[in-house]
Copies of this chain bind each other. A is one copy, B any other.
């Protein structure tokens, strides 16, 4: 077997210890790795790098395309950017994969039978960092969900399920409320799901789904969801499996991938030979599958399972009466190495035959016909009632582009609002053509110009388009 180049970072806090333990086990198991070490994290931040990562490190990552990363410490306060967000976005790591497994009765948990994999969309949603404050009172953040981004992560989830012999893929969304954004994610799930008739499919509204996950996680298998829900659900799953210290994760992109533990650098434990290296080790097991060394992955994983069921435990999972021996980081690694080649007897052993090819190829799609129908113009205004604003705006028009409705925090306030409705200084004024007609961009310029000339503080616009005749905007309710 030829060696595969990977990039390794030892990180901060407990990072160096657990990376050391992990690499020793990989080496003893016969992993064929050519390791390039880079420096990331606290020291790099404090040297003045706002991203915690230097140019030479980028070069290594783009050469090897595989990153095994120990946790880092993010310095407190001051404009440091999240290293993980930076890497994820820059390398296009669109799928975050997090198994959460109970190792009952060897590790305490209230959910003995859970074995769930959460696949979280990793680049979109409210994490795009597009935020604006445009009035005294109101703060905005833009949630973006894209058709290709949804298709990629959903296809990845189904391919993953198939490769790993999983039976069911569940989708979590809130499309009863967010019909467009969560709606496209749900529609992609239904569409792509049809190509996988061998796999069971189900969709849950995220609130009820979350309740079910927290109470009976054993009813789920693979779950795919948008970024924010995935962020919350994967933390819940890791925690209730009883094993935050045992969780590994993979960040998968078309070209690159990054593998790390789910926990952080745990500064209080650093340098004490106490930390559990299992999270990083299980991330490395995912990496070995990714780079085409599945037999080594299985050898490491089975030896680790045997160690756990033999009751050789680090302090965090040690329990009187269940565990046999409390060990440190190094000794735990040695115990795993001693068991290389063995299979667990009570926990189910793993078998990884061939590295699954999980590249998500986007479907060719016909572009829809797009027509301009109107514009939502948002005003910062605090001079009176909704009725007064509505009356005043009725006089502004550009051809068939006319005021139709005003909302405040999404509630219709003109024409015909209710006096109980609390109004902020942030008004959405919807102007559009008659049904069946369209408008041109220059009409929006003209209308905008009139409003600005009349002294209105136009803070924001959102165009209203039709796609194949269907509105690309949510209707105003109530």
Task: Using CB atoms and an 8 Å cutoff, list the residues of chain A in contact with chain B.
Answer: 51, 62, 79, 81-82, 85-86, 89-92, 94, 110, 123-124, 126-134, 136-149, 174, 176-181, 183-184, 206-208, 210-212, 214-215, 228-229, 231-232, 234-236, 238-240, 253-256, 367-368, 370, 376, 380, 407, 409-411, 418, 420-422, 424, 426, 428, 441-442, 444-445, 448-449, 452-453, 457-465, 467, 472-478
Which residues of chain B are near A92, meaning CB under 8 Å? 420-422
The 10 closest A-B pairs by CB, nearest first: A128-B410, A133-B472, A211-B239, A131-B180, A214-B214, A211-B235, A131-B474, A207-B235, A141-B143, A141-B181
Listed by A's residue number, 19 A-B pairs whose Cβ atoms lie within 8 Å are A51-B478, A82-B176, A85-B177, A90-B418, A123-B409, A123-B411, A128-B409, A128-B410, A129-B474, A130-B410, A131-B473, A138-B145, A174-B228, A211-B239, A441-B457, A442-B452, A445-B445, A445-B452, A459-B463
Interface contact B132-A420, CB-CB below 8 Å:
no
- In the complex, the chain B residue whose C-beta lies closest to that of A465 is B134
Question: Closest residue of chain B to A370, judged by CB?
Answer: B136
Given A208-B235, A410-B128, A449-B445: A184 touches B139 (CB 8 Å cut-off): yes
Chain B residues contacting A460 (CB-CB under 8 Å) are 460-463
Q: Which of A211, A232, A256, A476 has the most chain B CB atoms inside 10 A of its CB?
A: A232
Contacts of A449 in B (CB 8 A): 445, 449
- Give A422 to B179 CA distance when docked, in angstroms: 25
A367 and B212: CB pair below 8 A? no
Q: Determine whether the beta carbon of B134 is less than 8 Å from that of A144.
A: no
Q: B210 contacts A235, CB within 8 Å?
A: yes
Q: How far is the CB of A64 from chain B (nearest CB, A)?
A: 13
Max chain B C-beta neighbours (<10 A), residue from A145, A215, A418, A457: A215
- Provide the bound-state CA to CA distance between A239 and B478, in Å: 31
Contact indicator A94/B422 (Cβ below 8 Å): yes
> B462 to A421, Cβ gap below 8 A?
no
If A144-B140, A178-B126 touch, whether A132 touches B472 (CB-CB below 8 Å) is: yes
Known interface pairs A411-B89, A473-B132; A141-B178 also in contact (CB < 8 Å): yes
Name which residue of chain B comes closest to A442, CB basis. Answer: B452
State whether A461 and B464 are in contact (beta carbons under 8 Å apart), knowing that A207-B232, A239-B212, A448-B445 are contacts in the complex: no
Name A124's contact: one of B79, B409, B418, B475 (CB within 8 Å).
B409
- Name the one of B85, B215, B420, B445 contacting A90, with C-beta atoms under 8 angstroms: B420
**A402 vs B449: C-alpha distance when bound (angstroms):** 19
Give the residues in chain B near A207, CB-CB below 8 Å.
Answer: 231-232, 234-235
Tell which of B86, B139, B229, B231 touches A478, judged by Cβ atoms closer than 8 Å. Answer: B86
Q: Most chain-B CB neighbours within 10 Å: which of A81, A91, A144, A448?
A: A144
Inter-chain contact B130/A428, CB cutoff 8 Å: yes
Closest chain B CB from A386 CB (angstroms): 13
A136: chain B residues within 8 A (beta carbon): 147, 367-368, 370, 467
Q: Is the CB of B411 within 8 A of A149?
A: no
Residues of B within 8 A of A473 (CB): 131-133
- CA distance in complex: A228, B413 (Å): 23
Q: Is the CB of A410 within 8 A of B478?
A: no
With a cutoff of 8 Å between Cβ atoms, the chain B residues found around residue A128 in the complex are: 407, 409-411
Q: Looking at A370, A410, A474, which has the most chain B CB atoms within 10 Å of its CB?
A: A410
Cβ-neighbour of A139 out of B91, B110, B180, B411 (below 8 A)? B180
Give 11 new A-B contacts, CB below 8 A, not counting A133-B467, A460-B463. A90-B418, A123-B411, A128-B407, A130-B462, A131-B178, A131-B181, A132-B376, A136-B147, A136-B370, A207-B234, A442-B452
